[in-house]
Structure 1
Amino acid sequence: MRYDVVGLGIASLDLIGVTEEQPLFGAKQSLTGWHEMGGGPVATALATLARMGARVAMTGAVGNDGYGQRILADLQTVGIDTQAMHVRPGTSHVSFVLAEPGRDRRTVWWHNDPTVLEQVPLEHELIRSARALLIDTHMPQVALHAARTMQATGGLVMIDAERVREHTLELLPLCNLIVVSAEFARQATGVVEPWEAARVLHSRYEEQLVIVTCGAEGSWCANKGELFHTPAFEIEPLDTTGAGDVFHGALLYALLRDDPIRLAIRFASAAAALSCQGLGGRGNLPTVSEVEALLEPA
């Protein structure tokens, strides 16, 4: 295998404003800091994997604008192979993030050009060259073909889903690892409580492993008929942007080195916690040794 993980999804440029005050709409407020860095769910998960020493590549598209050039350069800087990234006419995915240090909250506004992401060519050989495929919900039609390609090779398919979009539910039966937000789980099942939603998804989709992430409240996992909770690490967050993306990347890393599922989720939770001590999704990507140090008993 050429790669441990190939990702298909959004790569963005994140513009991060930092405030110490409670945000007020309709008012002028100063920022205490400003940062710019690459972002996006799949892209940040791959950056996490690369930081931990995994071989990773990404396929998707950016616009033929200055932002697109910066996004590609940033992916390459963090160790992601971008040979299968396409540059297409239009504007790239850009997010503005308002970070509130000390609070388990951030606000994100984003924009992309749908035509840039439509009918992105699928790199079948790239998919087959990897042990695992990570997808999000921004390019569902391409993701469907990619998941089927990976499924045929016997590799792992993980989905990162924050909300239900058109065709999203068609992807779930093709995924070995359904790792979704509490909001997605609620929308997909109609069940409010995350643990019950995890159980419903687990029974609905041919007994795949299901994890519902709940931020500071940890995560719920349903696997092989078992339902269990993994608490989040107690930290003072600087910025929670991208913590879920880091969780996905670290979880895949742990599973690909054959960690038992409970230990893999704990590893991913520790990585996500460490990421919250930096600004932006990639401001504090942890190494394996840093994660394992946090996991060691005091």
Structure 2
Amino acid sequence: MLTYFTNSVPNTSLRIPHFLSPQAPTSNPRAKMMSSSLPENRIVLGCGGVVVDLLAAVASYPKPDDKIRSTSFQVQGGGNAGNALTCAARLGLHTRLISKVADDAQGRGILEELEADGVDTSFFVVSPEGNSPFTYIIVDNETKTRTCIHTPGYPPLVPEELSRSKLESAIDGAGLVYFDVRLHETALVVAKEVWTEASSVPTALLSMLLKLPKVKFVIVTLGEDGCIMLERSHNKASNSEEMCIDEVFESLKQKAPNDDSKPTCVSSSVVTLKADGIGTLCGRLHVGTAEKIPPSELVDTTGAGDAFIGAVLYASCVKLPPERMLPFASQVAACSCRALGARSGLPRHSDTRLAPFLHEGSEIAGLVP
């Protein structure tokens, strides 16, 4: 679930050197994007998890007491916040990350890889003792699934380790702030507050926007089934009649193309959406489809959701409309699924596969009255 709040911090500039990561895919330098695809306010602050991923691909998942060989193996950075901000950095944003590692080989490797991708790690807390987090990931080539075995870092990050001056410096100039809710105790408190008891996903999204009046939009991802986005509107609805949000969703879902392998988006007009027992909201509903990746090209879905979020962070800074943002984010996620691990397949801004989604006038969206 992704929610988007406004942030009223002042707009200042930050210049971060961007280095080519050895794991980054090459791109075509001749690919040209529209000038507006690079935002003026390009600073995004993240707070959350970073880890070392030890990825082993196997022909099929082992049975108990089996001994098998891997078909490939990689060690690379991971963690939801680390992955999402790496994605945003490769797309052209300036990114800062608040997290914690230990002063060990794994921690130093985490920092070096993030810095190589242009992520500002100066706000990290580095513990002189303990261990940095790491995850064993077994990728099953047969079922196209992955199994994660995570070892948390120790000692964990506590608020007292982040000074007021350092926090203010991290926030200064940031246009967006992203949390991956890795602090599970805090996440539980938030979950209890936003639990909607709704009977459907669209109804739950409507309930969330009613409970959180400063949220601009909410997105829920559905894996290979795409995503749903509910966007708040301050404009008057084109139709004074209230429309059931579940019925609008079903109508959009039927109109979404099933024969198109590329990501698309079908959107409603601005209407007054209602849900029985919940309330009404003026807004737009968007249904996005995911790319249909051929089985021969699907390698690993690790970090696909993080890639989607990183692309949404970029699209929000660029001010892409939802009709273009959702297909763009889905395309970035699909790119990441074509390589082992969460970061190997993350595209850069100049990647030719992204050009159709960044150019004005691309045929990637439809509007349903």
TM-score category (smaller protein): 0.7 to 0.9
**Are residue 133 (structure 1) and residue 177 (structure 2) matched?**
yes
Paired letter, 1:80: V
Find the counterpart in structure 1 of residue 306 from structure 2: 245
**Are residue 280 (structure 1) and residue 341 (structure 2) matched?**
yes
Find the counterpart in structure 2 of residue 18 from structure 1: 57
Find the counterpart in structure 1 of residue 206 from structure 2: 199
Cα shift at 1:75: 0.8
Length, aligned pairs only: 261
- In the alignment, the residues of structure 2 paired with residue 104 and residue 293 of structure 1 have an alpha-carbon distance, to the nearest angstrom, of 28
- In the alignment, the residues of structure 2 paired with residue 128 and residue 279 of structure 1 have an alpha-carbon distance, to the nearest angstrom, of 35
Shift in alpha-carbon separation, 1:193–1:17, aligned structure 2, 3 A: farther
The alignment partner of 1:31 has SS state of coil
**Are residue 7 (structure 1) and residue 46 (structure 2) matched?**
yes
- In the alignment, the residues of structure 2 paired with residue 48 and residue 108 of structure 1 have an alpha-carbon distance, to the nearest angstrom, of 21
Find the counterpart in structure 2 of residue 218 from structure 1: 226
Paired letter, 2:182: H
Cα shift at 1:276: 0.4
In structure 1, the gaps of 5 or more residues are 140-164, 173-183
Q: Is the 8 A contact 1:75 1:81 kept in 2?
A: yes
- In the alignment, the residues of structure 2 paired with residue 97 and residue 226 of structure 1 have an alpha-carbon distance, to the nearest angstrom, of 39
Moved more, 213-222 or 286-295: 286-295
Moved more, 78-87 or 269-278: 78-87
Q: Is the 8 A contact 1:216 1:232 kept in 2?
A: yes
Task: Report 1 or 2 for greater relative contact order, CA contacts < 8 Å, sequence distance ≥ 6.
Answer: 2
Q: Is the 8 A contact 1:91 1:116 kept in 2?
A: no
Paired letter, 1:241: T
Shift in alpha-carbon separation, 1:192–1:30, aligned structure 2, 3 A: farther
**Rg larger in 1 or in 2?**
2
Runs of 4+, deviation exceeding 6 Å = none
Find the counterpart in structure 2 of residue 160 from structure 1: none
Q: TM-score w.r.t. structure 2 length?
A: 0.65
> Alpha-carbon deviations, 1:132-187, whole Å to 9, x = none?
11111124xxxxxxxxxxxxxxxxxxxxxxxxx32226658xxxxxxxxxxx9xx9
Paired letter, 1:45: A
Find the counterpart in structure 1 of residue 138 from structure 2: 98
The alignment partner of 2:305 has SS state of helix
Shift in alpha-carbon separation, 1:287–1:241, aligned structure 2, 3 A: same
Shift in alpha-carbon separation, 1:25–1:221, aligned structure 2, 3 A: farther
Aligned partner of 1:36 among 64, 75, 80: 75
Paired letter, 1:121: L
Residues 29-178 of structure 1 aligned to structure 2 (within 5 Å): 29-88=68-127, 89-101=129-141, 103-119=143-159, 120-121=161-162, 123-139=167-183, 165-168=184-187
Q: TM-score w.r.t. structure 1 length?
A: 0.79
The alignment partner of 2:314 has SS state of helix
In structure 2, the gaps of 5 or more residues are 1-11, 15-41, 233-282, 365-369
- In the alignment, the residues of structure 1 paired with residue 153 and residue 195 of structure 2 have an alpha-carbon distance, to the nearest angstrom, of 26
The alignment partner of 1:285 has SS state of coil
Q: Is the 8 A contact 1:7 1:59 kept in 2?
A: yes
Shift in alpha-carbon separation, 1:241–1:192, aligned structure 2, 3 A: farther
